[in-house]
A and B are shown apart, each in its own frame.
Chain A
Amino acid sequence: MPPAAAAPADDGNWVMPAKNYASTRYSELDQIDTRTVGDLRVEFTFSTGVERGHEAAPLVVDGTMYIVTPYPNRLYALDLTQPGAPVKWKYEPKPAAAAQGVACCDFVNRGAAFSDGRLFFNTLDNFTVAVDAATGAELWKTRLGDINKGETMTMAPLVVKGKVLVGNSGGEFGVRGWLTALDAGTGKIAWRAFATGPDSDVLIGPEYQPFYAKEKGKDLGVTTWPPNQWEIGGGTSWGWISYDPELDLIYYGTANPGPWNPEQRPGDNKWTGGIFARNPDTGQARWFYQVVPHDLFDHDGINELILLDMPVDGHPRKVVVRPERNGYVYVIDRGTGEVLSADLFAYVNSSSGVDLKTGDLKYVEAKQPHMGQVVREICPTAPGAKDWNPSAFSPRTGLIYIPHMNVCMDWESIEANYIAGTPYVGANVRMYAGPGGNRGELSAWDPVKRAKAWSIKEDLPLWSGTLATAGDLVFYGTMDGWFKAVDARSGVELWRFKTGSGIIGQPVSYRGPDGRQYIAVLSGIGGWAGAIVAGDLDPRDPTAVKGFAAAVPDLKERTTKGGMLYVFALPRK
């Protein structure tokens, strides 16, 4: 079960992309269930007018739906009390067009956050904006980064105790990663915690008590790098944040170190590729666990962090569960940072397990990249067994519904030149389907039994989030546009609908003003996985899109671009 303080009773709204601080993405609404879902039909649609990847979750607050689009990051308010949900207002931040040139993986945005009558979201050109939810009036707008350093912002903020938490993107551009807290009322920066550099910049002080010896030492954010490399070392935070009100700790991950070519940055490269627990008021670190020390494969540690209170070896523990890019589901004590278990949920040959005593990931030597050498059949790929697209947890089934991939890659390290504002990668990559040929999979994972309950093989990689509901349904979308509902207990498909474009967004569920339960999702192909379509790229070059083109050479024939909201409900009785 998720901790009650982090997952309060469902009021029918959906105010943050993860649904609640525990990040369950679970709706307690049960009008649509395994018996009735067959009758689910489109209630209304809305064109966003944007052709890029739609990764955001729609938000719903008391009869109004809010949607933030990919660049140019328009924010729409739709009036759910009126037939057809007409636009109530729109807010246009008009971000700099040049920002499109420094967004590594399509010009996406993962959503807004609502708190206390305000909406908060990030623009591609590094502004965090607060907008009045009733009128659409801009309340404040704070610039946090610089596109000429390669920085962008794509993540959805989280609002905790009057602070708006946001992080930067740009791990492929040699930026220096950070998480920043802004005052929700004024937009003033309260604190900023860098992911590299001296302890004073990383906000590591007397409160810092990591579990593992490898995370202890002075200024590791400097000493685990070649001289000055930490200044362009990555460790961005473009993914998910969770919050435990009882322990009063936020949890979030840091992304890959830069450049991808690991031989240009000998050392553990702290504090990249790991999970931080911090005090939300001061930003001071409580613990850190580096999931991928000296990352070899662009394995950003930014995935969702699901807070659960569950038995581990028969004892109740407060844990955070993280389906990680490297293919393991980590169960970590969220008070201490101790890894309690790490089990494979996908096919992996680049590592052979996690040493729970030391916390070390055991890399397989034969799969380590070296300059001037093509290392073949590395599984999983750079985007990992699973990327940013978040899982859902149902307390009714006790299962985590993990949308993931089954893709492998060839990798050739090359020397990366650092030119500010341009990519800093240093690798030629091409990807292809893993064993079995299915490129995607939806796995229902039992965190207590540490095993899969069931799984569904998908032809295309899964790049959408999942939604679990009290009707014992799991919703997810495919990159060729199918929106599906499956039985949460068996995985049997019960309903599907073909949307206009590939789905890479996050489905949500809410109670409408008429009392009915609704399911909403944004359709619109793009993101790293779908950039080949969104950017009209050429799959004849397998290294296109950092190698992802080779994994989905058929995608341009299977879907077309265009952002559209779809909202479903059961027919009125």
Chain B
Amino acid sequence: MSSPCRGNNGICLLLACLLVLAGCEREERQTRAEPVNETGPAAVSMTGLYPGEPSPPDPRGQEYEGNAFHLAQGKQLYTWFNCAGCHAHGGGDIGPALIDDQWIYGSGIENIYATIVQGRPNGMPSFRNKIPEQQVWQIAAYVRSMSGQASKAASPSRSDEMQNKPAEQSMPQEEPKDSSGSVPNLDGRQ
């Protein structure tokens, strides 16, 4: 990586100051959020086909996906709840891969939330009433980060485990191909 600091202390100092200032706007870490008050998304779309204009996505999705704390929590919970047992570190095993562009039941965070809670007929267990709602959001957000869908700035930059794939922050962003549809995207990408 080329460094602007090399041979120019002035610029380096300026950058350092900017960084300090930027630090004042650190994300809000909801370490004391009340999971009991969190709820899941409303009914999710299972298709990209809809009459008229698409419905706006649940704004909480952006909150979870753009927040490093939530993504880091999601990463830990992904292992603790045995997600890794079936999906490995995203390459898949008993369950499908999560780092690729294929999404059977939708790639949106609301769809992933619904998949975790409801389960799916071909082997995905239902975690309904087993994982607190906020933690499901965190896991769903982390799952999005595995294929580069979440904010790069907030995505985990390293793993504590044996080196496997690149960390979420370095994963190339896949273009999700939803075979069963997803949350309508306001960018009109669907």
Contact = CB atoms under 8 A, between A and B. Distances in A.
Interface of A: 97-104, 172, 374, 410, 412, 414, 417, 419, 421-425, 428, 430, 531, 535-546, 549
- Rank and list the top 3 A-B pairs by shortest CB-CB distance, nearest first: A101-B123, A544-B91, A541-B91
A99 B130 CA distance: 20
Interface in B134-190: 161-162, 164-165
Contact of A417 (B80, B95, B122, B125): B80
B85 A538 contact: no
Contacts of B82: 417, 419, 422-424
Contact of A423 (B85, B90, B124): B85
Interface in B29-68: none
Contacts of B89: 428, 541, 543-544
Given A97-B122, A101-B125, A541-B97, A410 B92 contact: no
Contacts of B124: 101
B85 A540 contact: no
B125 A422 contact: yes
B92 to A, nearest CB: 4
B88 interface: yes
Nearest to A148: B125
A1 to B, nearest CB: 43
A542 B88 CA distance: 9
B27 interface: no
B7 interface: no
A545 B84 CA distance: 10
A531 B85 contact: no
A374 B162 contact: yes
Given A542-B91, A543-B89, A549-B91, A414 B97 contact: no
Contacts of B112: none
**Most B C-beta atoms less than 10 A away, residue of A97, A543, A546, A549:** A543
Interface residues of B, number: 29
Of residues A98, A99, A172, which shows the largest number of chain B Cβ atoms within 10 Å of its Cβ?
Answer: A98
Contacts of A417: 80-82
A374 B159 CA distance: 14
A414 B91 CA distance: 18
Contacts of A103: 94, 123
Contacts of A535: 92-94, 96
B165 A423 contact: no
Given A102-B123, A536-B96, A536-B97, A541 B165 contact: yes
A538 B164 CA distance: 12
B95 A544 contact: no
Contacts of B81: 417, 419, 422
A531 B121 contact: no
Contacts of A541: 88-92, 97, 99, 164-165
Nearest to A542: B164
A74 to B, nearest CB: 17
B123 A98 contact: yes
Nearest to B166: A540
Given A423-B85, A537-B93, A546-B93, 13 more contacts: A101-B86, A101-B122, A102-B94, A410-B162, A419-B81, A422-B82, A424-B85, A538-B90, A540-B91, A541-B88, A541-B89, A542-B165, A544-B92
A535 B98 CA distance: 12
A541 B91 CA distance: 5
Contacts of A549: 88, 91
A419 B89 CA distance: 18
Contact of A538 (B91, B121, B123, B125): B91
Main SS class of interface, B: loop
A541 B164 CA distance: 6
B73 interface: no
Contacts of A422: 81-82, 85-86, 125
A423 B86 contact: yes
B88 to A, nearest CB: 4
Contacts of B88: 541, 543-546, 549
A97 B123 CA distance: 7
Contacts of B91: 537-545, 549
A377 to B, nearest CB: 13
Contact of B93 (A410, A424, A531, A542): A531
Contacts of B93: 531, 535, 537, 544-546
Nearest to A537: B92
A374 B93 CA distance: 21
Given A97-B121, A538-B100, A430 B92 contact: no
B164 A101 contact: no
- Which of B99, B102, B123, B124 neighbours the largest number of chain A CB atoms within 10 Å of its CB? B123
Contacts of A536: 96-97, 102
A430 B163 CA distance: 10
A100 B122 contact: yes
B29 to A, nearest CB: 25
Nearest to A428: B162
A538 B94 contact: no
Nearest to A425: B85
Given A421-B125, A423-B82, A545-B92, A430 B162 contact: yes
A104 B86 CA distance: 8
10 contacts: A101-B94, A102-B123, A172-B85, A422-B82, A422-B85, A541-B89, A541-B90, A541-B165, A544-B91, A549-B91
Nearest to A104: B94
A58 B121 CA distance: 30
Contacts of A97: 121-123
Contacts of B123: 97-103
A419 B93 CA distance: 18
A428 B95 CA distance: 16
Contacts of A414: 79, 161
B155 to A, nearest CB: 16
Contacts of A172: 85
B61 to A, nearest CB: 24
Contacts of B97: 536-538, 541, 544
Interface string B69-89: 000000000011110011011
Nearest to B96: A535
A103, A419, A538, A542: most-surrounded residue (chain B CB, <10 A) = A538
Given A419-B81, A543-B89, A101 B165 contact: no
A510 B123 CA distance: 38
